[in-house]
């Protein structure tokens, strides 16, 4: 008669150094003859990135108990070497959760059973982390909840249909629809932009990302009703953009908030200083290419001197460049308005695309900056940014294994 053993991570002792779970038994299991692996599941730690394609369930103790060589991992050399892999777990419909599709039965040595059972999981030969926060570089999720969690969120242009409205306040659903009023995501401050005439809802990239362009002469976008002075010195702005075809030969303002004024000037990303001079960051901007631009106003060494630090991510080849730190602009405690592009530049030269825009206070929190960049990148790549209650983010890894052991 078989005895069912239920092995749950909650009831095991986790060794963070070995990245293995252990079950310490009061005594050996008497004369096991057959070991049946009925089911096995595993959920990765919340900060695992990238997620494995498949996960190997391993156990040194249980593998030694099995009589015959039961698993071989093919390699360029030494392909006859046995492995301690008991099962291969494939990803379920939920990201980061894995399950075994079919059970296995093993004949066992009657007298080899130990009083301690080890369980661990690998991505190939790499042992997976068991505790949240153990990853050397926790990855940004780039989902909506991550942006909502950013404190002091000033602007969040998510380009959602309900926030892009025409002159009659109808939602802009399809590419080519007119847009007169640009609203923010409800989790940021209330700021509504409009222009001289209609903008066009335009596809940014090739995966359904949304942006704005315009064929209206003297077109620009502005918001002057709200308050845009800042209560603190540091801030971050992350935006998506398609560079105008004349980026190499012309001058194109991206945004002007009084205390920051940015341009593409003769193929280079530039920022104005307090005297109104446009200074080059050294970031090259290629006409018609899609980018994520990040600007942070930060005091990196704590000496009270703030600088503009910049970053450009070209999305067609994934090349990331860091700009030269520049002197900051006008004082942040003065009230003005928000402006995108400039009337005499006809909204990015009539063929540039203005896309997702995230602006928040604070420039030193790398997590929030990475989340904003990842959110826009996810939009561009067609990756869902919807937050899922089933996501394991913030949780330790868990597993369950069901074993049937038949004695003699």
Kind and range of the H or E run holding 280: strand 278-284
Distance CA 72, CA 70 (A): 7
- Do 131 and 190 lie in one domain? The reply is no
Structure tokens at 206: 């090739």
CATH of the domain at 94: 2.60.120.1100
Distance CA 369, CA 294 (A): 8
Residue 1, number of CB atoms within 10 A of its CB: 5
386: in domain: no
Domain residues for the domain of 200 are 144-381
**SS3 (DSSP) at 203:** strand
218: in domain: yes
Instruction: Provide Rg for the chain, Cα atoms.
Output: 28
- Do 256 and 313 lie in one domain? The reply is yes
Distance CA 293, CA 312 (A): 5
- Do 125 and 235 lie in one domain? The reply is no
User: Which residue has better confidence, 96 or 287?
Assistant: 287
94: in domain: yes
- Do 109 and 195 lie in one domain? The reply is no
Residue 51 near residue 121 (C-beta atoms within 8 A): no
pTM: 0.67
Least confident of 45-49, 81-85, 145-149, 341-345: 45-49
Residue 28, number of CB atoms within 10 A of its CB: 12
- Do 107 and 161 lie in one domain? The reply is no
Least confident of 101-115, 289-303, 365-379, 388-402: 388-402
Q: What is the pLDDT of residue 12?
A: 94
User: Does position 299 have pLDDT exceeding 60, yes or no?
Assistant: yes
Distance CA 50, CA 38 (A): 28
The rounded mean pLDDT for the chain is 91
Residue 159 vs residues 86, 343, 371, 384: alpha-carbon distances, Å? 48, 22, 17, 14
- Least Cα distance to 36 among 407, 331, 387, 403 occurs for 403
Tell me the percentage of the chain whose pLDDT exceeds 90. Answer: 74
- Rounded mean pLDDT, 137-161: 89
Distance CA 103, CA 265 (A): 64
Give the pLDDT confidence of 50-100 residue by residue, as tens digits: 789 899 999 998 998 898 888 888 876 656 678 899 999 999 877 789 999
Q: Output the furthest CA–CA distance in the chain (Å, rounded).
A: 89
- Rounded mean pLDDT, 17-35: 88
User: Does position 212 have pLDDT exceeding 70, yes or no?
Assistant: yes
DSSP state of 371: H
389: in domain: no
| Residue 61 dihedral angles phi and psi, to the nearest 5° | -65, -50
- Do 263 and 214 lie in one domain? The reply is yes
Number of domains in the chain: 2
350: in domain: yes
According to DSSP, the β-strands at 278-284 and 54-58 are unpaired
DSSP state of 247: T
Distance CA 283, CA 326 (A): 12
- Do 127 and 200 lie in one domain? The reply is no
**SS3 (DSSP) at 225:** coil
387: in domain: no
CATH of the domain at 296: 2.60.120.200
Q: What is the pLDDT of residue 75?
A: 73
- Tell me which residue has tokens 């074993």: 403
* pLDDT level of residue 389 (50, 70, 90 thresholds): very low
Distance CA 131, CA 396 (A): 4
DSSP line for 117-180 = EEEEEEETTEEPP-STT-SSSPPP---HHHHHTSSSEEEEE---GGGEE-TT--B--STT-EEE
- Do 11 and 110 lie in one domain? The reply is yes
Distance CA 284, CA 305 (A): 26
**SS3 (DSSP) at 63:** helix
DSSP state of 64: H
Residue 100, number of CB atoms within 10 A of its CB: 21
Q: What residues contact residue 230 under an 8 Å CB cut-off, 6+ apart?
A: 259, 332, 333, 361
């Amino acid at each position: 008669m078989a005895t069912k053993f239920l092995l749950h991570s909650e009831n095991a002792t986790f060794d963070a150094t070995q990245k293995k779970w252990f079950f310490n038994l009061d005594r050996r299991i008497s004369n096991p003859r057959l070991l049946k692996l009925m089911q096995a599941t595993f959920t990765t730690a919340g900060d695992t990135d990238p997620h494995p394609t498949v996960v190997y369930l391993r156990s040194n103790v249980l593998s030694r108990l099995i009589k015959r060589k039961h698993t071989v991992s093919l390699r360029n050399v030494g392909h006859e070497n046995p492995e301690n892999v008991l099962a291969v777990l494939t990803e379920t419909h939920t990201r980061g959760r894995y399950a075994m599709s079919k059970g296995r039965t093993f004949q066992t040595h009657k007298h080899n059973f130990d009083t301690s059972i080890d369980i661990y999981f690998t991505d190939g030969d790499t042992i997976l982390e068991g505790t949240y926060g153990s990853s050397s570089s926790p990855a940004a999720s780039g989902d909506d909840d991550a942006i909502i969690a950013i404190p002091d969120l000033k602007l969040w242009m998510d380009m959602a249909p309900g926030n892009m409205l025409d002159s009659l306040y109808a939602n802009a659903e399809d590419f080519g629809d007119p847009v007169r009023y640009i609203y923010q995501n409800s989790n940021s401050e209330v700021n509504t932009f409009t222009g001289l005439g209609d903008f066009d809802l335009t596809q940014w990239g090739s995966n359904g990302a949304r942006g704005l362009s315009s064929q209206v002469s003297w077109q620009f976008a502005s918001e002057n009703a709200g308050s845009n002075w800042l209560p603190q010195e540091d801030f971050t702005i992350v935006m998506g953009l398609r560079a105008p075809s004349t980026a190499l030969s012309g001058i194109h303002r991206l945004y002007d908030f009084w205390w920051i004024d940015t341009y593409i000037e003769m193929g280079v990303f530039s920022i104005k200083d307090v005297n109104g001079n446009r200074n080059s960051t050294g970031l090259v901007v290629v006409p018609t290419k899609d980018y994520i631009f990040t600007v942070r106003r930060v005091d990196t060494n704590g000496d009270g001197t703030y600088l503009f630090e910049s970053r450009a991510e070209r999305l067609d080849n994934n090349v990331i460049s860091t700009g030269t730190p520049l002197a900051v602009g006008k004082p942040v405690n003065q009230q003005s308005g928000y402006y995108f592009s400039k009337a005499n530049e006809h909204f990015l030269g009539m063929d540039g695309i203005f896309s997702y825009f995230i602006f928040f206070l604070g420039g030193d929190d790398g997590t929030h900056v990475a989340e904003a960049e990842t959110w826009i990148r996810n939009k561009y790549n067609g990756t869902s940014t919807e937050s899922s209650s089933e996501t394991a983010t913030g949780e330790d890894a868990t597993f369950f294994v069901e074993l049937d052991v038949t004695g003699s």
